[in-house]
């Protein structure tokens, strides 16, 4: 048990970052009765968790680095319109990350990473449904499956390696022809003539409202929400930590670092490093009267996720390197809009808004979740990349299980 501080209470567990990951960790810790302070420089949910595509995808056991992806990378790097783009000026900075990414595409690494992803995702949908019910918003998790669209069966066959990986991990899916995909989504344009349906998948229909509801429930249960930008984490002499902020110093018995793509600065403050890069992604959100889709639909040729949201029809995707400071290139968002209209002609002419966010990405696709051996009381919960929504509830449960007995 940690020593008491100023107000006589034991210092709380500090969770740094109120994105979906930090919110789930803080919520799970509080539900176990721990004193918890959730610290963010901003309002909760304004980072990557604000505008993701809402896909809860336990079947995403395919690492980002696959041998077939590597073949297309050089061409993509040269083309600003490609789904993956590294601006030439950023290439040298991104090179160490890209080198690790290439190394992660070795067949033995792909098998091992895929197995780890399957463990990470296990039970994700049930965990999100439980959490959404707990916070009084069960309607936020729509369990209607995901539909992957291909221009034809040959394009789907070219993706066989990724479907084989899913099959090996017991992920259920059905191949569809054009009639089959129209039976699920009648609004799909003639561009797409083949599909795959994953029935056991879900969609969060408002990722931002989900984070804010989780945090509201955390506060209603006695959790403390603190607004401060942290600049350093400092270990105490014997035990405990101090989170140094711009406004105050926050004592903590344990610290969970869940600052998404911004986690490196605080990690460096304790002399550690991680190969964390932001993969900048974009979305457009169409104002629609009637939703043209009833579930998450993936345009595989365009690498775009389309989802029915409470706030409209969202099309999200693209991977752009370039760091945390560079201004958004909303031309990339406009291309997402073009691809969405191409797939769903009913969207033509609908007004849309644009957004950019920072995915916290590790080159081996695997988030860093767990204790830091050389720093007792420091826990990592960042690097969830393209799957931070999917894995957030599981990350919260796992860390709460590990941390609770130590406080
Ligand atoms: C376009 C796009 C589509 C996506 N689609 C999906 C999807 O369909 N499914 C899925 O599972 N995932 C998806 N993702 C990924 C997912 O959004 C992220 O993995 C997830 O949001 C990361 O959550 P996080 O809590 O780690 O980070 P964030 O949400 O970025 O939160 C980090 C928080 O830390 C705070 N912070 C940072 N530095 C400090 C500091 N020094 N002091 C205090 N606070 C600090 C920030 O203010 C922020 O609130 C998508 C991402 C993008 C960009």
Q: How far apart are the first and last CA of the chain?
A: 6
For residues 396-405, give the mean pLDDT: 97
**Which of 120, 125, 201, 259 is the pocket-test mutation for ligand 1 (most atoms within 8 Å of CB)?**
259
| pLDDT for residue 3 | 40
For residues 279-302, give the mean pLDDT: 97
| pLDDT for residue 71 | 73
356, 376: one domain: no
Structural domain contains residue 54 = no
395, 324: one domain: no
374, 400: one domain: yes
| pLDDT for residue 6 | 47
In this structure, which residue's CA is closest to atom 50 in ligand 1?
52
Which atom of ligand 1 is closest in space to residue 17's alpha carbon? 34
95, 231: one domain: no
Nearest Cα to 65, choosing from 20, 117, 21? Answer: 117
Structural domain contains residue 128 = no
Which atom of ligand 1 is closest in space to residue 54's alpha carbon? 8
282, 341: one domain: yes
Q: Which residue has the higher pLDDT, 70 or 313?
A: 313
Which atom of ligand 1 is closest in space to residue 280's alpha carbon? 53
Question: What whole-number percentage of the chain has pLDDT above 90?
Answer: 87
| pLDDT for residue 237 | 82
Which atom of ligand 1 is closest in space to residue 283's alpha carbon? 1
In this structure, which residue's CA is closest to atom 18 in ligand 1?
388
In this structure, which residue's CA is closest to atom 21 in ligand 1?
49
Total domains in the chain come to 2
Structural domain contains residue 329 = yes
Tell me the CA distances in angstroms from 323 to 7, 79, 81, 86, 281, one per residue in order: 41, 18, 18, 10, 12
Nearest Cα to 282, choosing from 332, 337, 223, 247? Answer: 332
Nearest Cα to 143, choosing from 223, 224, 54, 78? Answer: 54
Domain boundaries, position 24: 13-49+209-274+365-406
103, 194: one domain: yes
CA 50–ligand 1 middle distance (angstroms):
7
| pLDDT for residue 67 | 82
In this structure, which residue's CA is closest to atom 41 in ligand 1?
230
| pLDDT for residue 8 | 57
Instruction: Spell out a b/e string for 190-205, using b for 16 or more CB atoms within 10 Å of the CB, else e.
Output: ebbbbbbbbeebbbbb
| pLDDT for residue 7 | 57
| Separation of alpha carbons 228 and 247, rounded Å | 6
- Which range (60-69, 72-81, 159-168, 308-317) has the least confidence? 72-81
**pLDDT range class, residue 238, cuts 50, 70, 90:** confident
394's CB contacts (< 8 A; 6+ apart) are 120, 121, 122, 123, 124, 127
| pLDDT for residue 4 | 44
Residue 259 has pLDDT above 80, yes or no: yes
| pLDDT for residue 76 | 65
Nearest Cα to 56, choosing from 150, 122, 111? Answer: 122
Question: What whole-number percentage of the chain has pLDDT above 70?
Answer: 96
| pLDDT for residue 221 | 98
291, 395: one domain: no
Residue 69 has pLDDT above 90, yes or no: no
Helix (H, G, I), strand (E, B) or coil at 316: strand
Q: Tens of pLDDT along 213-226?
A: 999 999 999 999 99
Structural domain contains residue 127 = no
Q: Which residue has the higher pLDDT, 324 or 86?
A: 324
Residue 380 has pLDDT above 80, yes or no: yes
Q: Which residue has the higher pLDDT, 97 or 4?
A: 97
Q: Which residue has the higher pLDDT, 118 or 236?
A: 118
The CATH number covering residue 161 comes to 3.30.9.10
39, 180: one domain: no
- Which range (135-144, 231-240, 334-343) has the least confidence? 231-240
Largest CA distance in the chain: 67
Residue 2 has pLDDT above 80, yes or no: no
| Separation of alpha carbons 227 and 246, rounded Å | 10
CA 259–ligand 1 middle distance (angstroms):
8
In this structure, which residue's CA is closest to atom 3 in ligand 1?
52
Structural domain contains residue 115 = no
Which atom of ligand 1 is closest in space to residue 50's alpha carbon? 29
For residues 253-266, give the mean pLDDT: 98
90, 74: one domain: yes
CA 19–ligand 1 middle distance (angstroms):
5
- Which range (83-97, 121-135, 228-242) has the least confidence? 83-97
Residue 382 has pLDDT above 90, yes or no: yes
Ligand 1 pocket, CB under 6 A? 16-22, 39-42, 46-49, 52-55, 229-230, 258-262, 266, 281-283, 305, 316, 357, 359-360, 382, 384-390
Structural domain contains residue 219 = yes
Instruction: Spell out a b/e string for 38-60, using b for 16 or more CB atoms within 10 Å of the CB, else e.
Output: bbbbeebbbbbbbbbbbbbbbbb
Residue 146 has pLDDT above 50, yes or no: yes
Which atom of ligand 1 is closest in space to residue 231's alpha carbon? 41
Structural domain contains residue 7 = no
For residues 53-79, give the mean pLDDT: 83
Average pLDDT, the chain: 94
For residues 80-87, give the mean pLDDT: 79
């Amino acid at each position: 048990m940690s020593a008491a501080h100023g107000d006589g209470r034991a210092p709380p567990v500090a969770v740094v970052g109120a994105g979906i990951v930090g919110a789930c960790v803080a919520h799970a810790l509080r539900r176990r009765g721990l004193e918890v302070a959730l610290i963010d420089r901003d309002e909760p949910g304004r980072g990557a968790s604000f505008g993701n595509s809402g896909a809860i995808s336990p079947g995403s056991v395919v690492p980002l680095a696959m041998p077939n992806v590597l073949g297309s990378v050089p061409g993509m790097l040269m083309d600003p319109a490609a789904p993956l783009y590294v601006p030439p000026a950023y290439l040298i900075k991104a090179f160490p990350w890209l080198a690790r990414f290439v190394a992660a595409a070795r067949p033995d690494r792909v098998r091992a990473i895929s197995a780890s992803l399957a463990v990470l995702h296990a039970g994700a949908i049930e965990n999100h449904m439980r959490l959404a019910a707990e916070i009084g918003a069960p309607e936020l998790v729509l369990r209607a499956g995901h539909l992957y669209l291909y221009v034809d069966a040959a394009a789907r066959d070219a993706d066989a390696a990724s479907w084989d990986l899913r099959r090996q991990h017991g992920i259920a899916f059905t191949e569809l022809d054009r009639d089959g995909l129209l039976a699920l989504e009648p609004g799909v344009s003639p561009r797409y003539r083949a599909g795959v349906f994953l029935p056991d998948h879900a969609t969060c229909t408002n990722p931002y409202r989900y984070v804010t509801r989780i945090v509201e429930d955390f506060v209603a249960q006695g959790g403390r929400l603190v607004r401060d930008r942290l600049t350093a984490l400092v270990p105490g002499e014997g035990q405990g930590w101090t989170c140094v902020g711009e406004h105050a110093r926050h004592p903590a018995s344990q610290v969970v670092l869940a600052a998404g793509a911004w986690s490196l600065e605080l990690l460096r403050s304790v002399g550690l490093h991680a190969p964390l890069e932001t993969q900048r992604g974009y979305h457009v959100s169409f104002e629609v009267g009637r939703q043209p889709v009833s579930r998450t639909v993936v345009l595989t040729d365009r690498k775009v996720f389309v989802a029915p949201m409470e706030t409209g029809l969202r099309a999200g995707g693209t991977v752009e390197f370039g760091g945390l400071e560079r201004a958004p290139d909303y031309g990339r968002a406009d291309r997402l809009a073009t691809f969405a209209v191409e797939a769903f002609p009913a969207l033509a002419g609908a007004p849309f808004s644009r957004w950019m966010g920072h995915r916290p990405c590790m080159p081996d696709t695997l988030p860093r979740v767990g204790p830091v051996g050389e720093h007792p009381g420091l826990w990592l919960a960042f690097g969830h990349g393209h799957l931070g929504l999917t894995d957030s509830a599981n990350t919260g449960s796992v860390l709460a299980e590990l941390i609770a007995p130590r406080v």
